[in-house]
Amino acid sequence: MTSTATEPGTRTGSTVPEPPAPAARRSAPDGVRLDGVARSFDTPQGRHDVLRGLDLELRSGEILAVVGPSGCGKSTLLRLIAGLDRPSAGALSLGGTALVGTDERTAVAFQEPRLLPWRTLEKNVALGLPRTTPAKAGRERVRHLLQLVGLEHAADLRPREVSGGMAQRASLARALARSPQVLLLDEPFGALDALTRLRMQDLLLEIHAAEPTTVLVVTHDVEEALYLSDRVLLLRSLRTADQVEPGLPSLARTVEVPGARPRDRADAALAGLRMELLEGLGVHAHTTPSTTTSSEDR
Ligand SMILES: Nc1ncnc2c1ncn2[C@@H]1O[C@H](COP(=O)(O)OP(=O)(O)OP(=O)(O)O)[C@@H](O)[C@H]1O
Ligand SMILES: [Mg+2]
């Protein structure tokens, strides 16, 4: 299978505060909006500001990658959009209606597959179906998804009987089962070996081409972000920012990624953006090139 994802618009390849939306996505009727979103936690040491002043639009059908130092609030952001957490300030909406809790229009997959060990892969995937799905339609949907992620032969196996990559594919299929408008992925390939990871990236693009959906993917891997996404958001750690200039918003930079997918991983334009993002993450050009954003607490 080859990925046939197309880009519904031109892109600049430059680093800009907020790039113009291609016409096909501009109105983003199904998109996610965040307006002035903040999240802080009360801790024994006092208030911990994790996210601040986050304004962003996740355009319908785009793949948006989020990178940033460990602890800067990437998972917190994803949990807010998933409705698993509430913002301390600001508002979130999807398709023009407020997002105020878990929502059938969104689905999440995490770094660990989180499958039920006593259920077959097929039954695990079926867990993602909307509750009202008629039995026959549900069976067909699950069969289709297992095929899409290359697991049709493993439908009757249990999670302990399959590899980590297969389990993660089942987890992706489960997230897709309800045909979400927005697919939220938190380091979905982070626990996989390097080769499986590359394959899973291509699989995600194939899925996106076959079932276009809006995707937000959190990753520590800058190359992965540039390979997969239309735009990369770089978040800053407010703890660090506070020492320099109090009050900075969480969003440090937005990078528009050029080129239609599937991209050439060796593309010089991507290499330039990669260096730019790594610099933004505090990994300087003179250090050994690293593709990940691991930090001291990882
Ligand atoms: N429920 C909570 N109560 C208190 N602090 C929290 C809570 N949830 C998250 N935090 C804190 O918020 C900060 C951001 O956490 P988050 O998991 O969003 O970071 P992250 O960017 O996803 O990091 P990583 O890259 O390591 O996954 C961390 O310092 C974390 O300890
Ligand atoms: Mg995280």
- Evaluate whether residue 234 is within a structural domain: yes
Tell me the best of 76, 184, 220, 240 to mutate to test the pocket of ligand 1, counting ligand atoms within 8 Å of each CB and taking the most.
76
Asked, for residue 18, whether it belongs to a domain, the answer is no
Tokens of 287: 């250090």
Please state the domain count of the chain: 2
Nearest ligand 1 atom, CA 297:
26
Considering the domain architecture, whether residues 256 and 158 belong to the same structural domain is answered as no
Residue 294 within a domain: no
Query: Which of 127, 147, 178 is the endpoint of a domain?
Result: 178
User: Within a domain: residue 96?
Assistant: yes
CA 75 / ligand 1 centre spacing (Å)? 7
Q: What residues does 217 pair with on adjacent strands?
A: 65, 185
* Domain match, 54 and 202 both: yes
More confident residue, 5 or 179: 179
Residues 192 and 60 in one domain: yes
**Does residue 6 lie within any of the structural domains?**
no
17-39 confidence digits (pLDDT tens): 444 444 333 444 568 999 999 99
**Ligand 1 atom with minimal separation from the 235 CA:** 21
Are residue 43 and residue 98 in the same domain, yes or no?
yes
Residues 66 and 188 in one domain: yes
CA 244 to ligand 1 center in whole angstroms: 21
Whether residues 73 and 157 fall in one domain: no
Query: Do both 79 and 211 map to the same domain?
Result: yes
Confidence band for 286, pLDDT divided at 50, 70 and 90: low
Residues of the chain above pLDDT 70, percent:
84
- Domain-terminating residue out of 132, 162, 178: 178
Question: Which parts of the chain are beta strand (E)?
Answer: 15-16, 32-43, 46-58, 63-67, 89-94, 97-98, 106-109, 182-186, 214-218, 231-235, 251-256
pTM, rounded to two decimals: 0.86
Residues 201, 65, single domain; the answer is yes
- Pair 53, 185 in one domain: yes
Residue to probe by mutation, ligand 1, list 39, 43, 50, most atoms within 8 Å of CB: 50
Q: Which CATH number is 41's domain given?
A: 3.40.50.300
- Residue 255 falls within a domain, yes or no? yes
Q: Is 75 near ligand 1, meaning CB less than 6 Å away?
A: yes
* 106-109 vs 182-186, strand pairing mode: parallel
Asked if the structure places residue 190 within a domain, the reply is yes
Residue 221: inside a domain: yes
Asked if the model's pLDDT at residue 147 lies above 90, the reply is yes
**Domain identity same for 277 and 209:** yes
Q: Which atom of ligand 1 is nearest to the CA of 79?
A: 18
Residue 261 shares a structural domain with residue 158 = no
Alpha-carbon distance values, 270 to 50, 228, 276, 278 (Å): 29, 11, 10, 12
Least reliable range by pLDDT among 107-116, 171-180, 269-278, 285-294: 285-294
Q: Both 91 and 184 in a single domain?
A: yes
The whole domain housing 154 covers: 119-178
